[in-house]
Amino acid sequence: MELQVERVPDAEVEHLAREGGPLSLAAQILRQLWSARALDKQHFVFRVGDYWVIGPMLDARGEAALIDFLEEDEE
């Protein structure tokens, strides 16, 4: 399976957190995102296959490195 990096809009993460409740993965991701932004970090949520990642906006090189890393983790 070929992995792709998909940016997840804040509204979708918030919706999933409300649906899943405070202990859901989405709620945990949302809290981490808010913590990063409270430190003035311009971070976003990305989904890569079954993985969720929080970090700065990725360029093509960053996306490729992330995909390589996660593909190695799956093996």
Any idea where the domains of the chain sit in the sequence? 5-74
Q: Is the pLDDT of residue 1 over 70?
A: no
Q: By percentage, how much of the chain surpasses pLDDT 70?
A: 95
Query: Is 74's pLDDT higher than 70?
Result: no
The 10 Å Cβ neighbour count of residue 20 is 13
Which pTM was predicted? 0.86
Helices (H), 21-59: 25-38
Average pLDDT of 7-25? 97
